[in-house]
């Protein structure tokens, strides 16, 4: 049985995203060519009628316009460890990238940097759970499921908004 109950396509300056919701909140937000994209979802299109998917589209529009926004309720499916990492990503402020190592230390898991990196890479809610804000120890852009060009563009957008 699918975790997704409705979906919507949302256009952004970095390409279209597919937003999928569960009964409890936003469950996924993927670029078409993104690594770990679930592929064709077994969920009907909301045809613009779902309030949560409308709030997601509005949040993305505000994000790209560098305006404040509220996150819709989030409901990403993952292991307890992955969800812990994704919650920690929400604490990284825009325009202030953090490293995998510091993120692991903050979670009290300094020996689990590799597992943490895998959890970051499996984030199913692009942009709104800001995995793009995690960089290498030397500040280099390291993996992003949506592609390094998008990661660079997102970080530049956030830096300009500071």
Catalytic residues: 131
- 86-105 residues labelled b (16+ CB within 10 A) or e (exposed): bebbeebebeebbbbeebbe
Angle at 116 between CA 139 and CA 143, to 5 degrees: 45
For residues 126 and 36, is the Cβ–Cβ distance under 8 A?
no
For residues 41 and 20, is the Cβ–Cβ distance under 8 A?
yes
For residues 78 and 100, is the Cβ–Cβ distance under 8 A?
no
What are the two backbone dihedrals, phi and then psi, of residue 21, each rounded to the nearest 5 degrees?
Answer: -115, 155
Q: What share of the chain is helix, strand, coil (3-state, %, to 5)?
A: 35, 15, 50
């Amino acid at each position: 049985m699918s975790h997704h109950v409705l979906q919507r396509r949302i256009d952004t300056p970095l390409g279209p995203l597919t937003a999928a919701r569960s009964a409890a909140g936003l469950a996924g937000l993927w670029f078409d060519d993104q690594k770990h994209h679930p592929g064709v979802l077994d969920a009907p299109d909301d045809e613009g009628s779902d309030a949560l998917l409308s709030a997601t589209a509005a949040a993305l529009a505000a994000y790209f316009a560098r305006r404040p926004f509220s996150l819709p309720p989030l409901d990403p499916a993952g292991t307890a460890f992955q969800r812990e990492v994704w919650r920690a990503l929400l604490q990284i402020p825009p325009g202030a990238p953090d490293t995998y190592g510091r993120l692991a230390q903050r979670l009290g898991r300094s020996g689990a940097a590799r597992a943490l990196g895998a959890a970051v890479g499996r984030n199913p809610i692009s942009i709104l759970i800001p995995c793009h804000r995690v960089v290498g120890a030397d500040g280099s852009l390291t993996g992003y499921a949506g592609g390094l060009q998008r990661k660079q563009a997102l970080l530049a957008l956030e830096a300009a908004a500071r």
